[in-house]
Amino acid sequence: MKISRQKHDFDIESITVDSQNPGTHLLILGVVHGNEPCGLLAAEKIISECEKGERQLKNGKITFVPVCNPRAFARNVRETDENLNRVFYKEPRSNSYEAKIAPVLCSIIEKCDVVLDIHSYRAQTPPFVMNDYANNTTNAWVEALSLHNVIIGWTDLYPEGGGTLDYADECGQFGLCIECGQHTDETVVQTAYTMMDETIAFWKIGEKLTDEPKQRPLDIGLMVKLIHRPDETAQLIDGMHNFMPFDVGDVLYTSEKENFCAPFNGFIVMPKPGAAVGKEWFYLARKMRDI
């Protein structure tokens, strides 16, 4: 195996572990959001295993970008100017720091075959995978992971693209985004490591070193609606959390202008209690088995 490191603009570093045999080129992204270090820590573990000879790659190669957003990571904030995972375009569409670093990352994506984007979440949540561009290949990849919760339908809410997997799809590549749990949970790094390990095995790049039991059947949810926070008086109901179920007519937030009630039976995805007015607040989803 050959291990090489490359410095890019904006202090972005990539590390490539090459089996020096033909095969899939897997790209693993970490710290797209600066306060989500699990991808970095899991990547460092796998790179170390390769350096020590504890992990052997048989086919293809893996490129790691352990820290995609260096400035936000240095400040331990989600973003410096705007959400990097909404501005992933080859040509910057604003003058923000994130818009400027996105083309560097796009150039790295272009050289790979498969993208795994690793994230964590602000609150306690079970891990889940976002299969944005679902097809037979990504569905089989999801089946190979030891996860229970799957979310689809993201692209219907963001038709303009701007995410890592949107750009990967533009390049004709396969991709998954995995939320591995709460930022500082004691299990989040191990989950990120397991997702990387199982992905390496699925793409026949190397042997799997973990042995997590698969959680079946998969529970698949379809993203249906994005709710933005309407005004300063708007407050989420007490206890709202990720994957919280609701019934049609249940009150989901209150404000001076209205009580917003659920328009269908479903569940909550990624609520953000501290969201600013006009920003993404929470998502409504439905179980595929109920559709």
List pLDDT tens digits, range 107-144: 999 999 999 999 999 888 899 999 999 999 999 999 99
* 250 and 143 part of one domain: no
* 43 and 102 part of one domain: yes
Instruction: Report the C-alpha dihedral over residues 57, 62, 66, 71, rounded to 10 degrees.
Output: 160
Task: Note whether residue 217 is domain-resident.
Answer: no
Is the predicted pLDDT of residue 215 greater than 80, yes or no? no
* 21 and 86 part of one domain: yes
Task: Note whether residue 210 is domain-resident.
Answer: no
Residue finishing a domain among 132, 167, 202: 202
CATH number of the domain residue 252 falls in: 2.40.50.100
* 30 and 133 part of one domain: yes
* 182 and 285 part of one domain: no
Q: Are 70 and 11 in contact (CB under 8 A)?
A: yes
Task: Note whether residue 214 is domain-resident.
Answer: no
pLDDT of 212: 87
pTM score above 0.85? yes
Reported as a single tens digit per residue, the pLDDT across 8-63 is 999 999 999 999 999 999 999 999 999 999 999 999 999 999 999 999 999 999 99
Task: Note whether residue 211 is domain-resident.
Answer: no
Residue 183's region, left for phi above 0, alpha for psi from -120 to 50, else beta, is: alpha
Task: Note whether residue 194 is domain-resident.
Answer: yes
Span of 16-30, 208-222, 271-285 with lowest mean pLDDT: 208-222
Reported as a single tens digit per residue, the pLDDT across 193-202 is 999 999 999 9
* 45 and 182 part of one domain: yes
* 110 and 192 part of one domain: yes
- Span 281-285, average pLDDT: 97
Q: Are 88 and 102 in contact (CB under 8 A)?
A: yes
* 13 and 140 part of one domain: yes
Residue finishing a domain among 148, 169, 202: 202
Is the predicted pLDDT of residue 210 greater than 70, yes or no? yes
Task: Note whether residue 207 is domain-resident.
Answer: no
pLDDT of 216: 76
* 53 and 191 part of one domain: yes
pLDDT of 290: 67
* 144 and 64 part of one domain: yes
CATH number of the domain residue 154 falls in: 3.40.630.10
d(CA 243, CA 260): 18
Q: How confident is the model at residue 233 (pLDDT cuts 50, 70, 90)?
A: very high
* 129 and 180 part of one domain: yes
At residue 284, φ and ψ (nearest 5 deg) are -105, 135
Summary mean pLDDT of the chain: 96
Task: Note whether residue 124 is domain-resident.
Answer: yes
Residue finishing a domain among 202, 235, 258: 202
Reported as a single tens digit per residue, the pLDDT across 156-186 is 999 999 999 999 999 999 999 999 999 999 9
d(CA 226, CA 284): 6
Task: Note whether residue 14 is domain-resident.
Answer: yes
pLDDT of 288: 87
Share of the chain above pLDDT 70, in %: 99
* 102 and 242 part of one domain: no
Range of the domain at 250: 224-290
Number of domains in the chain: 2
Q: How confident is the model at residue 291 (pLDDT cuts 50, 70, 90)?
A: low
